Structures are given as structure tokens and as C-alpha cells.
Amino acid sequence: MPRRELKAREGKFEVANIFYQVMISSPAQTEQLAHILASLSRKGDTILLQGPLGAGKSVLCRSFIRGVFNDQTMEVPSPSYTLVQHYDHDGKQVVHFDLWRISSEDELYELGWEDMDEAIVLVEWPERLKHFMPQTALHVQISFVDAESRPELRHERVFFSQAEKNQGFEPKKIEPEKEKDHEEGRIFQLKGWEDRNLLETLIRAGMVVEVIENSWQVLC
């Protein structure tokens, strides 16, 4: 059975009991995060991006695709109207879906969803997948935040769970950027890819990370 074959499920399932919350204060940091994810991605991966309009989903996808193909000038048009964009070069495939405008799950067949096993798949508005949402995926949820409600964006820190401390990770203080406008900050919640050393890679890149130990259920 193809990994992305459409198969209805009912109820709910647990995605992960630990997720990473990354504080982002500029488009440049969004691009940095995208390049980190691109460096850890593998053939057959699915990345599901949720968040309100203007949160940065398209910016993350564009930078991710350029990172996969190592081409920072690559044209990456939005799939808002075409619904899907395909990229195939040098043995690598990336498929970028924007499902905002689909009206039924049957349209996923027409878009070729079940034929994407060899590609890295990015999905904006994955809520439209409903009970066809893959159980194995990296979930990226983006929300707006300002410096007043989250002082971490102003006085940047890294947080660790006890489990990470037991693995030898030490808290790392990061100097805040001077005169930085954080009014348009973002929080990126990352769930999945437990086997990719995601936390370690984020820390080594100087990202501001909070480890949240909690269950996250997807209704389907």
C-alpha cells in the first residue's frame, strides 16, 4: 500500500508527546529554520503547516524548497491558485500543496496525492485533509506573538526538559538582538521527526527553543 494512499480513519490519534516551540523574530530566522528542516528532510517525508493567513507558511515553504535544492535564487511560485507545484531536479522531488481552495477530499485524487511516495511533500492548510491526514509527518503550527505577551522574544533563552538535561544538553544563553522589533514575532511549534536530532540541530544553530512535554491529538 502506498504510504500516502487515501484511507479513511475515524477517531483520533496521538502525534507526539514532546514538541519543540521555536521563537522567531524576523523573516531571516524563518528562512534559517526552513533551511534546518530542509537539511534534515528525507525522501517520502510529509510536512504539514498550519497557521493563520500571513503567519509565514509560504515563506517557510519557499525557503525550504530553495534549501533542498541548494539554490537561493530559485523561482518558487505560490500554489494558492494552482493548488500544487512540483519541483524535480538532480534526483530530488518536492511537491508543495496549498489546500485552502479544495472543496472536497475527492480533489486530492485529482491532485495526485496518492502518488507522492518518492517526494518530500509540503502541505499548507492540512486541515482540508481531514481523516486522510498522514499519521507520520512533521507538524508545523505557526502563531503570531508580540514581545509583551512573550518576553522570551525580547530576552531570548533556550528551555530544556529534564529528559534533555539527562542526555547532556546544557542551557545555552543567547544574546538578544539589539533594537530588534519583535511586534511581528512568531511561534513555530514542531511535532514529529523524533529520529532526526531536531532539537540538537536547532540548538546548535542558535535557535530559541522551548521543549514542551505534552500529548497532541489530531481529530479525524
SS3 (DSSP) at 134: coil
Which of the two residues, 110 and 165, has the higher pLDDT score? Answer: 110
Arithmetic mean of pLDDT, 185-203: 92
Q: Is residue 5 part of a domain?
A: no
Q: Is residue 88 part of a domain?
A: yes
Q: What local confidence, expressed as pLDDT, does residue 109 receive?
A: 85
Residue 81 pLDDT greater than 60, yes or no: yes
- pLDDT confidence of 44, banded at 50, 70, 90? very high
Q: Is residue 7 part of a domain?
A: no
CA distance 101 to 89: 28
Cell of 164: 534533555
Q: Is residue 6 part of a domain?
A: no
Q: Is residue 3 part of a domain?
A: no
Q: Is residue 102 part of a domain?
A: yes
Q: Which structural domain range is residue 200 located in?
A: 12-219
Number of structural domains (the chain) is 1
CATH of the domain at 69: 3.40.50.300
Tell me how far apart the terminal alpha carbons of the chain are, to the nearest angstrom: 20
Q: Is residue 183 part of a domain?
A: yes
Residue 47 pLDDT greater than 50, yes or no: yes
Q: Is residue 124 part of a domain?
A: yes
Tell me the residue ranges of DSSP E strands in the chain: 12-24, 46-50, 84-89, 92-98, 120-124, 138-145, 185-191, 208-219
Q: Considering the chain, what percentage of its residues have pLDDT values greater than 90?
A: 47
Which of the two residues, 216 and 134, has the higher pLDDT score? Answer: 134
Q: What local confidence, expressed as pLDDT, does residue 126 receive?
A: 93
